[in-house]
A and B are shown apart, each in its own frame.
Chain A
Amino acid sequence: MDKNKSKRNNFIFILESFIEKFKIPIIVICAAVLLGIPFMGFSQYLMRIIIMIGIYSMLALGLNLLTGYTGQVSLGHAGFYAIGAYTSALLSLKLGFSFFPAAIGGVLAASICGLLLGLPTLRLKGTYLSIVTLGFGEIVKMVLTNWDKVTNGTLGLKNIPRPVIFGIKLTLANNGLYYMMLALVAIVTVVCVLIIRSKIGRALISIKEDEFAATMMGIKTTKYKILAFVISAAITGLAGAFYSTVIGFIEPNSFTFDVSTLIISVVILGGMGTIRGMFLGALILIAFPEAFRFLMDYRFVVYGLVLVFMMRFRPQGILGWKSQMPYKLPKAVRQQLEKLKTEGVKAQ
């Protein structure tokens, strides 16, 4: 009991119970700040970085589902990112799709590739799986580089149209892109939270904790691993589609192995297996090189140092604490328990 008490007095607990207590005001304040950012007079350049932070939050949320919750390390997410970006850009450039159908096309294409890549998980584990994903990323890049007729090769795709809503073209200048980013990040976050709190989420976490035990408990691990791949790829593809329309120009070199490692770094820095961490991770890693441009040559060295030091001193990530709040049973389980209890009482 004493141990429990000391646990309850620590910082995390105070923080968490504070958030729990003032949940609604905090959400309102955050929303107000986020919605108000465009009115703070930031330059377009800064707005663009903020949008990039949003895109990387999405990418990290996508990878987090696979790596943070299911425990499958992917080193090739730049591949899905590229597939999403290219598919949506091509649909809108060559077939004249408007942004939303084009983005859905990008998401579908990425999901299908996620399914294809997920299938080898039937046989591969751990490091070997990571290697296959790494190879996947490289192959996607090669296809983009060499399939000149469709992807325009190394020249890349230019003048990708901006999304239009109700006849209004969304741009950096009218902050349409920023609000769209907010909406997309919000949707992705909600989807992630819902998945994690559902039966699927619990199955994924059990695979990460102990795949063998999960199989023993009757969880179809293969099915869930592939599902994790597909969802993760879909989210990444969506981020890619949005990226292509924000930047307006994509080339194979925008999707290198470095991008894959950057996404992983965001996940790890923020805190694997948490949702909150993804935003902070993206904020730090995307803003860092921009804020420290004066370091010029040294900024990549510092970037490497950040990774090494994080792993050394806080490998669970900055926000990667275990929740100190008492575990809340999911609603369905709770109802069943109640039922059992009352039935038990009756039986007695």
Chain B
Amino acid sequence: MSGLTRNCVARVIIQQLFNGLALGMAYALIAVGYSLVFGILRLINFSHGSIYAFSAHMALLFIGMQFGVIPAIAMSIVLTGLLGVIIDKTALEPLRKKNSIPMAALITTIGMSNIIQNLLMIFFNTERKPFPAFFDFGMIKLGNLQINSTQVVMCIVSLALLILLTLIINKTKLGLSMRATEQNAKAASLMGINTNFIISFTFFMGGASAAIAGALISGYYQIVYPGMGFMVGLKAFAAAVLGGIGVLYGSVVGGLVVGVSESFAATFIGSSYRDSIAFIILILVLILRPTGLFGKKDIKKV
């Protein structure tokens, strides 16, 4: 940066901040899905990254069928939500019924991830496919700064979605049942809550949020391919844990921290280091605060 004026450096930093915020919002959107499922089942859903890739391909497929962009995305949201439910019903619910060890569920989701991602490769091929930029309004100029309108749209939609999810969880009866199931599934079912339905509903929301993330991020980068969920999924997952998995606003904070630090790592250290900066921060935070920034302590009963 030696050759640049101070003003220019400041501009680069602010620009990178915006790059990082947009990226962070993308991570936050995916992280929410991890958080929802983890909150209720204490399970890392490793198939979430593939579910996200699945949603983007479904949206692309329906757009290709001339349904129009918005209806196509709506259909993909429903379909992806259903995929989440199917995964739970076919593979995870039987494990719960048998009281399997937690690792069994973890491995099942890894297996599911393999299946989904490779089926996508078979049906859609591996190459990168273009996705329409359906919310591009050009650049917004703020004095010396240029802000990409797609970045702004992403931030707004993500925030709206997260507020909506928080409202569902905190204000509706369904949300109350979810929280009850989260605290103690057995007690909740004794109280007349259909916990299996609640878990399925959670998976639906997880899938749907992944689909919304899929549509937004695909629209932002305009690229869709079967492997798209892998790295993004891992980093979003790191973001979820960083913020405190199971806490929705934690996912947002975690996502933003990861996104911005990645952007700055690319600026000051080099782009090829950015992929693991998320994990370095994650480990540091976990060693200092074992449940993440906003995570609730599990009270161990003896």
A residues at B contact (CB < 8 Å): 67, 73, 120, 123-128, 130-132, 134-136, 138-139, 141-142, 145-146, 212, 257, 261, 264-265, 268, 272, 297-298, 300-301, 303-308, 310-312, 315
Contact = CB atoms under 8 A, between A and B. Distances in A.
Given A123-B290, A127-B42, A135-B238, A304 B282 contact: no
Contacts of A298: 118, 122
A142 B185 CA distance: 40
B302 interface: yes
Interface string B274-302: 01100110110011001100000000101
Contact of A73 (B106, B119, B234, B272): B106
B68 interface: no
Nearest to A298: B122
A80 to B, nearest CB: 16
A142 B275 contact: yes
B44 A127 contact: yes
Contacts of B291: 128
Most buried by B among A130, A139, A145: A139
Interface in B45-94: 91, 94
A306 B111 contact: yes
Contacts of B287: 120, 123-124, 132
Given A131-B286, A298-B122, A142 B101 contact: no
B273 A146 contact: yes
Given A120-B283, A305-B111, A311-B91, 14 more contacts: A135-B238, A136-B283, A139-B280, A146-B272, A212-B300, A212-B302, A268-B104, A298-B118, A300-B118, A301-B114, A301-B118, A308-B108, A311-B105, A315-B101
Contacts of A123: 287, 290
A120 B103 contact: no
Nearest to A303: B114
A311 B107 CA distance: 7
Given A307-B111, A311-B111, A132 B118 contact: no
A146 B111 contact: no
B288 to A, nearest CB: 9
Contacts of A301: 114-115, 118-119, 122
Interface string B95-128: 1001011111111101111110111011000000
Nearest to B113: A304
Interface string B174-194: 000000000000000000000
B280 A311 contact: no
A116 B241 CA distance: 21
7 A-B pairs with least C-beta separation: A307-B111, A304-B114, A135-B279, A304-B115, A142-B276, A300-B118, A308-B111
B231 to A, nearest CB: 9
A229 to B, nearest CB: 15
B234 A257 contact: yes
Contacts of B107: 264-265, 268, 307, 310-311
A130 B109 CA distance: 15
A142 B286 CA distance: 20
B130 interface: no
Contacts of A315: 95, 98, 100-101, 104
A82 B115 CA distance: 27
Contacts of B273: 142, 146
A268 B108 contact: no
B227 to A, nearest CB: 12
Nearest to B276: A142
Nearest to B288: A123
A261 B105 CA distance: 14
A311 B276 contact: no
Contacts of A257: 234
A141 B95 contact: no
A317 to B, nearest CB: 10
Nearest to B101: A315
Contacts of B102: 126-127
A304 B116 CA distance: 9
Contacts of B94: 312
A298 B282 CA distance: 35
Contact of A307 (B42, B108, B119, B283): B108
Contacts of B290: 123-125, 128
A145 B272 CA distance: 8
A297 B234 contact: no
